[in-house]
Amino acid sequence: MGSVLEVKNLHVSVEETDILRGVNLTIKQGEIHALMGPNGSGKSTLAHALMGHPNYEIVEGEILFNGVNILELGPDERSRMGLFLAFQYPVAIPGVTVANFLRTAINSRRKVEDEDDKGMPIPEFRKLLKEKMTSLDMDHDVAGRYLNDGFSGGEKKRAEILQLATLEPDIAVLDETDSGLDIDALKIVAEGVNKLVGPGLGVLVITHYQRLLGYIVPEFVHVMFEGRIVESGGADLAQKLEDSGYEWIRNAHSK
């Protein structure tokens, strides 16, 4: 049985304002889910809550990863367990190369699995990184650049997909990874994700637009509105939103 991420009756507030009002969601390793919804519906709040951002207060509910409530764990611990979050606005880290960042992250996760692990040998890591970059059609010079420092929007997103490929998490959350991308960059990012999806990776794609889902096709589509998931279905639900917008959601679920 693969890994399972379960969100149960999750209520989250930011600066004493209620944002999430009882979210329930289950994602299994190997599944592709999409979370859609109008701006301000709570999509990115859910992503930050999943990864333990300190500014997001959990008022009620649980987040279970393989049956373990991870609410008391910090972002690093959640990551080491096998969760991955690609942010809408990736942070630049001047002075830390892409290669050094990835090797540190890999060794940190290996340490969880075996506290006596001495870390991945440099030759083995270089071989792994080269293989991953080749599979994603990435310029190998990127490995020596400082992480996201001076990167274009598309380069930042591709660097995140490289992190995803190298760290091999069980569940990945892609928070509006299509934000600010032109169609060519969007295709490249989607192509990278599609090369990674399979039995070993569950994905939650958070997006405002249906266009990304034309390239990364989800099995399950959920619609968030006013802090709750109000509709769930298949890929046809995303197409309905593309054709009709969110007005029918507002009419059906506004309080």
| 3-class secondary-structure state, position 175 | strand
Measured CA to CA in angstroms, residue 244 lies from 15, 33, 206, 235 at distances of: 34, 21, 19, 15
Residue pair 8/24 in contact (Cβ under 8 Å)? The answer is yes
Give 155-209 pLDDT, tens digit per residue. Answer: 888 888 899 999 999 999 998 877 777 788 788 888 888 988 989 999 999 987 7
Give 3-19 pLDDT, tens digit per residue. Answer: 899 999 999 999 989 99
**How many whole angstroms separate alpha carbon 242 and alpha carbon 239?**
5
pTM for the complete prediction? 0.90
Superfamily of domain 4-253: P-loop containing nucleotide triphosphate hydrolases (3.40.50.300)
